[in-house]
Structure 1
Amino acid sequence: MGMIYIPVFILLFLICFCKSDDRLTPTKPLSPGDRLISSGGIFTLGFFSPTNSATNSYIGIWYNNIPQRTYVWVANRDSPITGSSSGKFLVTNSSDLALLDSKGSTLWTTTNKITTIEAAGTAAILLDTGNLVIRLPNGTDIWQSFYYPTDTVLPNMTAPLSSKNEGYKHLVAWRGPDDPSTGDYSMGSDSTSVLQVFIWNGTRPYWRRAAWTGALVNAVYRSNTGTIIFQTIERRGAEFYVTYTVSNGSPSMRVMLHYTGKVKFLTWNSESLSWDVFLEQPNTNCDRYDSCGPFGYCDGTEAIPTCKCLDGFESDGLNFSRGCRRKKELKCDGTDSFITLPGMKTTSFCTSGIEASTNAQQNAAATAHAPLMHMPT
């Protein structure tokens, strides 16, 4: 049998064509149709258009080997490339990432303020964690997408439990299922209290996680997949940070703030080729912040969670969002007294004179399932 000779230049072409690249440099920008693929083939970065909005395109990161396209980060969510205009994603000579439209106008950029001399040899690298970093030649990362999340938390992504750290932004949900622009719901640390995490609907609190128990490491075991999910809380000076990790061999896992306002823990099911939701908050009306209005509480021990009034109060109409009102006015003659509310979870107190607008929830309802930042042991 005769030997078949293949020209060397053809072999080189095939090798280069099949090899994935995980980085951008100032001399090698990304154009529509091009992609970065992390070194282990886990994540992809490139241009995309949502299914119902082909006229708008974005730069995003998604899972490379999961057939259901799942975006975990979007750069220009509020500044899409519109119409038939093409774009270019590149590393600038000042060590910034920038997205330009076909006219050269900047739609999105980072701001690192590195001099040209320092920037020589800088690259943007897509890591197997899903993190996009800008790395100097000395190995220092001067920017990372994990500090500027969209709506998703990935394993090994560290987030502060107070908003004093300005280097990290809140999660903000998509506007809709196919619209990555800034939505109504956001989630992050409360600016007035360390270790208190909220979901907001606009500026109004929508959900609040249960109080931190003080445990530094918690874990959840999922028997159907053999997955162990760890939550680690670390203190750095006056700041607290939380990181989620998963055991080796676990399926892909993510935490997403859904456009409906729910935060969901999801794992990839390779048999059904879909994302399984194994925890979501809020999952009942009792979980919603101030769901029963002033002086009302949500009784989660009922078959159907029900709004009720505290002792001495009655419903202020059929709509419980208006809460409850006093049956009798306070006399303030020394005969009135305070009572304890055991097993109740209240909203933040906002006092005006002797009145305090509170909403109390039964503790059973609040702890029947694991809140976002506190996993059950």
Structure 2
Amino acid sequence: MSYQERGILVSMLIFFLIFQFCTCIDTITLSRPLKDGDILVSKGETFALGFFSPGNSSNRYVGIWYNKVSEQTVVWVANRDSPITNSSGILSVDETGNLVLHEKDQSFVFWSTNVSGVANDVFSAQLLDLGNLVLFQGEVYSWQSFDHPSNTLVSGMKFGLDRKTGLNRVFTSWKSSVNPGVGVYSLKMEFVGSTQSFLYKGMKKIWRIGSWTRHGCSGIHEMNTNYLFNVTYINNNDEVGIIYLVRTLSIFSRLVVSDFGIIERMTWNEADHKWVAFWSAPKDPCDGYNRCGPFGLCDPHALGTFECVCLPGYEPQSPQGWYLRDGSKGCKRKVGTQMCQVGDGFVELAHVKVPDTSTARVNMSLGLKACVELGLRNCTCMGYASADLSKGAEGGGCITWHGDMIDTRTFSDGAQFFYVRVDAAELGRDPPAPLTSLPAEKGLAVGHGRRRIRP
């Protein structure tokens, strides 16, 4: 072999090695498992998958994190409650078509996808550029990490129910910053009445985010910010829920359920190399679930007075508790109120997060005009609101409440209109000045831009 030929051969070998080094491996196969120390990188190099130890912990977990963010930020963990205590872990695809996390001797399985296999010998798992780890059995996907979230919602991930399989995606906090095990806080979507989201601590509801429609979420204005995200509400025969998409692919943004019971929207600031809080909640007393009890209205802007007031036509159930700033017993109809009589009507409240819709009735075929007519015909209707604000001022769909109305609050702007049933005497009174708080011990209802609606 001539000197020139040897030079060409060496150049080709160097090129081959460089090409191999720069090519991202994004797939696990039967013959190519992932060992502790290996890294799987998505095709566009946006996300990486591998073994990690959180903080000062020596335990090893398999997780997915942002590949282009200098601060390792894990968005998904496989073996949350089953850490490996050494560096002998291996993530592989087995002969049944499952992803399995085990040690070298395979004596113990720390985690598995545990899906039914099919008659196929072509199994693989691929990390996609959205951060979704997808398991394929042949050409068909049989499992994906997006369906089994940890504490983080990333762009492209769905939050809600797959009606075909019954899968309801729930986000759960880590136990601590160094322990990604399933914590006590969880973010769930519920579908009784209208679609709503709740933050739980264990089995207790601590915050109702609000109702979801094509307009967005009724409880947090920032969740509907459309200059940074596209928020799509889906409700069809196959699924119900939402999907967030970041408008600019170069922006990394995530929603996290923290181990402190806070939901945070974080966005990466590349110039300063840090995560910036876009918004977080709950953040004021009125975010607490059912803070002011049945028929109570929570007003965080009631400076110097109790934040709990009563809906129009109601007074405190316990004046003493109200005076001591305990609104848990809520409100009752004012003494002398004559309901279900000629002259009943509704009072309009602006900028309201409507009551919990878990026991409400929803009719999507009615507009707001038909909704008020429906409410007036049925004297058990305590209040009503539009079910879909994306339809404009007249609204689309009708929500009516026929029992206790709980967890109602006001905002300084945004949210929606809510209509409370009152008797003829209440309708005949002049409404109080907007956004006024009256002394709590008098137990007077507060109107926020009230408008009387008569039959």
Q: TM-score normalized by structure 2?
A: 0.67
Q: In 2, distance between residues paired with 1:100 and 1:364?
A: 51
Counterpart residue type for residue 220 of structure 1: T
Identity of aligned residues (%): 30
| Deviation for aligned residue 1:307 | 3.1
Residue 411 of structure 2 is matched in structure 1 by 364
| Deviation for aligned residue 1:368 | 6.6
Counterpart residue type for residue 321 of structure 2: D
How many residue pairs match? The answer is 351
Contact conserved, 1:285 with 1:305, CA < 8 A, in 2? no
Contact conserved, 1:73 with 1:150, CA < 8 A, in 2? yes
Residue 100 of structure 2 is matched in structure 1 by 98
Residue 17 of structure 1 is matched in structure 2 by 21
Residue 58 of structure 1 is matched in structure 2 by 61
| Deviation for aligned residue 1:283 | 2.2
Residue 155 of structure 1 is matched in structure 2 by 155
Query: Structure 1 residues 216, 274: CA separation in 2 closer, same or farther (over 3 Å shift)?
Result: closer
Residue 353 of structure 1 is matched in structure 2 by none
Structure 1 position 44 matched with structure 2 position 53: no
| Deviation for aligned residue 1:168 | 4.0
Q: In 1, distance between residues paired with 2:297 and 2:337?
A: 25
Computed over aligned residues only, the root mean square deviation of the Cα atoms, in angstroms, reads 3.5
Q: In 2, distance between residues paired with 1:99 and 1:267?
A: 31
Counterpart residue type for residue 245 of structure 1: L
SS in 2 for 1:146: helix
Gap runs ≥5 in structure 2: 218-222, 360-402, 417-455
| Deviation for aligned residue 1:289 | 1.0
Q: In 2, distance between residues paired with 1:80 and 1:306?
A: 48
Residue 39 of structure 2 is matched in structure 1 by 35
Q: Equivalent residues in 2 for 1:1-377 (5 A)?
A: 5=7, 6=10, 9=13, 11-54=15-58, 56-82=59-85, 84=86, 86-104=88-106, 105-115=108-118, 117-118=119-120, 120-138=121-139, 140-160=140-160, 165-190=165-190, 192-215=192-215, 220-222=225-227, 228-237=228-237, 239-293=239-293, 296-303=296-303, 306-310=306-310, 311-313=314-316, 314-316=319-321, 318=324, 320=326, 322-323=328-329, 337=339, 342-343=348-349, 345-347=354-356, 359-364=406-411, 367=414
Query: Structure 1 residues 112, 360: CA separation in 2 closer, same or farther (over 3 Å shift)?
Result: closer
Contact conserved, 1:162 with 1:194, CA < 8 A, in 2? no
Contact conserved, 2:295 with 2:331, CA < 8 A, in 1? yes
| Deviation for aligned residue 1:16 | 2.6
1:133-172 superposed Cα distances (whole Å, 9 cap, x missing partner):
012332x211110001101111111232588853343011
1:82-111 superposed Cα distances (whole Å, 9 cap, x missing partner):
2x3621110011110011135521111012
| Deviation for aligned residue 1:189 | 1.4
Larger deviation, residues 155-164 vs 98-107: 155-164
Contact conserved, 2:295 with 2:405, CA < 8 A, in 1? yes
Q: In 1, distance between residues paired with 2:104 and 2:54?
A: 20
| Deviation for aligned residue 1:10 | 5.4
Contact conserved, 1:124 with 1:135, CA < 8 A, in 2? yes
Q: In 1, distance between residues paired with 2:305 and 2:214?
A: 29
Query: Structure 1 residues 292, 32: CA separation in 2 closer, same or farther (over 3 Å shift)?
Result: same
| Deviation for aligned residue 1:366 | 8.8
* Structure with more of its chain in helix, by fraction: 2
| Deviation for aligned residue 1:302 | 2.4
Gap runs ≥5 in structure 1: 223-227, 351-355, 370-377
Q: In 2, distance between residues paired with 1:101 and 1:175?
A: 24
Q: In 2, distance between residues paired with 1:349 and 1:146?
A: 27
Counterpart residue type for residue 206 of structure 2: Y
Query: Structure 1 residues 324, 197: CA separation in 2 closer, same or farther (over 3 Å shift)?
Result: closer
| Deviation for aligned residue 1:207 | 1.5
| Deviation for aligned residue 1:69 | 0.8
1:244-280 superposed Cα distances (whole Å, 9 cap, x missing partner):
1122344111111122222222211111111122222
SS in 1 for 2:19: helix
Residue 372 of structure 1 is matched in structure 2 by none
